[in-house]
């Protein structure tokens, strides 16, 4: 008997593999696998969420007006040019579908965030990957892939899982050299963590034309990954398209309140950023001292390089044996590496200690 068949290409999509959360037989795992902020839920966001518990029968404000006003005020942006989504993934899917489709091409980088490929394939676009240079976006390699069929370019800056970024000049060069009809999506999920002076999250490029979109998320520094909240800042015409194609109530009522509260949590971003910078440097130094390669990172994670897939797998197994979950990134073309989220100091110390012990074992070191 023949069942219903999905559209062509749907069964070639590899399901997204999230960071794992559990280990069989381990009660308390150290979860450093999804780049969730180190400090948990912002208390004000938890309280706002709880306040809504008696109002669950009410539909949310489909335009998320109060939340967009709060985001606009916080980041100095026009709320009319902001669209919220159920995570920034939601907006990435919508952009890929609205601007791509069969016969068109989507460009991303070699080790770019895997959701772009899934979103592009759902849209029916062909997905092309631009070679990177030392695990960093190569603007010329992206430009070399552009064809008349190119409709959209997705760039995570900084990128996950590599942690690398390109600076303002390169970002502008990419935008200027792309045809005006090509949408450039700058995914700045880790913007709040970046300390480099030459960083541009993307708003200036959005403002300068009609063809660039910046996406942001509440899942990382704002600690709301479980709630699903992201937003896009885009030119008017793209905002209009997103508002036509998104689900009318794509951001639920509780997350709208939690998001507003997270933005208002005093000192949260400053504390998280300061901790991340310190803890990331300390962990990088410890791993380097243990003989592990560490790629420079601007995000709240490190890419640890074990030189071979076998050693990376063995290290992953060793960590699991100690109740520590990090992220294998073979699916990103990096089977020799593991991505480690910067957690609290105790968590970073545990992973550093475990990996030092792993490297010290004679058979492996």
Ligand X SMILES: *Cc1c(COP(=O)(O)O)cnc(C)c1O
Establish if 272 lies at the interface with ligand X (CB under 6 A).
no
The 293-295 sheet, strands edge to edge: 293-295, 301-305, 337-341, 327-328
In the complex with ligand X, which residue's Cβ is closer, 223 or 230? 230
DSSP character string of 172-235: HHHHHHS-TTSEEEEE-TTGGG---TT---SHHHHHHSSSEEEEEESSSTT--TTT--EEEE--
- Reading the block at residue 165, the tokens are 């970024």
CA–CA distances in Å: residue 34 to residues 17, 219, 362 = 11, 10, 31
For the stretch 129-134, contacts whose Cβ atoms lie closer than 8 Å and that sit 24 or more positions apart, written own/partner, are 132/162, 134/164
Please report whether residue 225 would count as binding ligand X according to CB under 6 A.
Answer: yes
List 156, 201, 253, 359, residue binding ligand X (CB under 6 A): 156
**If we measure between CA atoms, which residue out of 160, 162, 227, 210 comes closest to residue 187?**
160
Q: Measured from the CB atom, is 70 or 359 closer to ligand X?
A: 70
The reply to whether 219 sits near ligand X by the rule CB under 6 A is yes
Footprint of ligand X on residues 23-62 (CB under 6 A)? 35
- Residue 138 tokens read as 């190569």
17: left (phi > 0), else alpha (psi -120 to 50), else beta? beta
Q: Which of 6, 62, 15, 77 is nearest to 263 (CA)?
A: 77
> Which C-beta is closer to ligand X: that of 104 or that of 160?
160
CB of 182 to ligand X, least distance (A): 20
CA distance 318 to 354: 8
Q: Which residue is nearest to ligand X (CB)?
A: 87
Report if residue 89 touches ligand X, rule: CB under 6 A: yes
82 binds ligand X (CB under 6 A): no
Binding flag, residue 295, ligand X (CB under 6 A): no
Q: Is 230 in the site for ligand X (CB under 6 A)?
A: yes
Between 167 and 323, CB nearer to ligand X: 167
Q: Judged by CB under 6 A, does residue 300 bind ligand X?
A: no
Candidate list 187, 192, 200, 347; residue touching ligand X; CB under 6 A: 187
Using the minimum distance from each CB to ligand X, give the nearer residue, 105 or 187.
Answer: 187
From 86-94, 141-149, 202-210, 341-349, give the range in contact with ligand X by CB under 6 A. Answer: 86-94
Q: In the bound complex, what is the minimum distance in angstroms from residue 121's beta carbon to ligand X?
A: 17
Q: Rule CB under 6 A: say whether 120 interacts with ligand X.
A: no
Give the binding-site size for ligand X (rule: CB under 6 A). 14
Nearer to ligand X, 101 or 225 (CB): 225
DSSP per position, 123-171 = HTPEEEEE--BTTB--HHHHHHH--TTEEEEEEESS-TTT-----HHHH
- List C-alpha distances in Å: 355 to 297, 301, 364: 19, 16, 11
- Does 276 bind ligand X (CB under 6 A)? Our answer is no
The DSSP secondary-structure symbol of 293 reads E
Binding segment toward ligand X, per CB under 6 A, in 87-95, 135-143, 279-287, 330-338 = 87-95
Q: How far apart are CA 4 and CA 337, in angstroms?
A: 40
Query: Which CB sits closer to ligand X, 88 or 104?
Result: 88
Residue 331 binds ligand X, judged by CB under 6 A: no
Cβ proximity to ligand X: between 189 and 258 the closer is 189
Please calculate the CA angle 53-55-56 and round it to the nearest 5 degrees: 75
Residue 84 or 312: the one with the smaller Cβ distance to ligand X is 84
Q: State yes or no: residue 88 binds ligand X (CB under 6 A).
A: yes
State the residues that interact with ligand X by CB under 6 A.
35, 87-89, 113, 156, 160, 187, 189, 217, 219-220, 225, 230
């Amino acid at each position: 008997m023949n069942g219903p068949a999905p559209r062509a290409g749907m069964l070639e999509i590899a399901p997204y593999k999230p960071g794992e959360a559990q280990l069989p037989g381990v009660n308390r795992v150290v979860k450093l696998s999804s780049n969730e902020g180190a400090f948990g839920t912002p208390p004000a966001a938890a309280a706002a969420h709880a306040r809504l518990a008696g109002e669950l029968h009410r539909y949310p404000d489909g335009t998320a007006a109060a939340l967009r006003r709060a985001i606009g005020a916080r980041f100095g942006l026009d709320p009319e040019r902001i669209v919220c989504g159920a995570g920034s993934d939601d907006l990435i899917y919508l952009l890929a579908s609205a601007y791509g489709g069969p016969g068109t091409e989507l460009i991303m980088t070699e080790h770019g965030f895997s959701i772009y490929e899934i979103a592009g394939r759902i849209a029916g676009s062909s997905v092309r990957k631009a070679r990177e240079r030392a695990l960093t976006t190569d603007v010329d390699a992206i430009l070399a892939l552009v064809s008349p069929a190119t409709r959209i370019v997705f760039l995570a800056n900084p990128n996950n899982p590599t942690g690398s970024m390109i600076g303002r000049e390169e970002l502008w060069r990419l935008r200027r050299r792309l045809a005006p009809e090509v949408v450039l999506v700058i995914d700045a999920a880790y913007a709040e963590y970046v300390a480099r002076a030459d960083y541009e999250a993307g708003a200036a490029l959005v403002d300068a034309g009609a063809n660039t979109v910046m996406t942001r998320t509440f899942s990382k520094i704002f600690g709301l990954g479980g709630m699903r909240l992201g937003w896009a800042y885009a030119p008017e015409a793209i905002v209009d398209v997103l508002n036509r194609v998104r689900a009318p109530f794509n951001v639920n009522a509780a997350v709208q309140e939690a998001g507003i509260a997270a933005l208002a949590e005093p000192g949260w971003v400053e504390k998280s950023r300061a901790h991340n910078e310190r803890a990331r440097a300390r962990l990088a130094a410890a791993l380097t001292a243990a003989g592990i390669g560490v790629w420079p990172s601007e995000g709240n994670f490190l890419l640890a390089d074990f030189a071979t897939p076998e050693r990376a797998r063995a290290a992953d197994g060793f960590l699991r044996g100690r109740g520590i979950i990090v992220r294998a990134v073979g699916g990103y073309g990096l089977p020799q590496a593991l991505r480690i989220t910067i957690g609290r100091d105790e968590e970073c110390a545990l992973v550093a200690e475990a990996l030092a012990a792993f490297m010290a074992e004679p058979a492996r070191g």
